[in-house]
Amino acid sequence: MTPEMVLDVGQEALWVMALLAAPLLISALAVGLLVGMVQAATQIQEMTLTFIPKLAVLGIALVVAGSWMLGLISDFSINLIERIPELIG
């Protein structure tokens, strides 16, 4: 196993992790920003007001993007398992 192979596998793993985290992080960021703007406009500083909408949107994002995320991690895992002979030999 050459250092280039290790870097390629690591780079691919980081890319897959970024793609997996993106839908959840972007949706939580958007809702947090929206709720923060509403809180600033109304001067309501309640912690549960930020937590509950983010939790709901994360659940919705998982339902919407879950099958794509599962397919992505499955394809990466299958590809990595199929490359084992190449990586060790």
Q: Does residue 42 contact residue 13 with C-beta atoms inside 8 Å?
A: no
Q: Is the pLDDT of residue 70 over 90?
A: yes
pLDDT digits (tens, 9 = 90+) for 8-56: 999 999 999 999 999 999 999 999 999 999 999 998 888 788 899 999 9
Annotate 1-26 with b (16+ C-beta within 10 A) or e (fewer).
Answer: eeeeeeeeeeeeeeebeeebeebeee
pTM above 0.85, yes or no: no
Q: Which of 85, 66, 62, 73 lies closest to 12, judged by CA?
A: 73
| Domain ranges across the chain | 3-88
Q: Which of 17, 27, 20 lies closest to 58, judged by CA?
A: 27
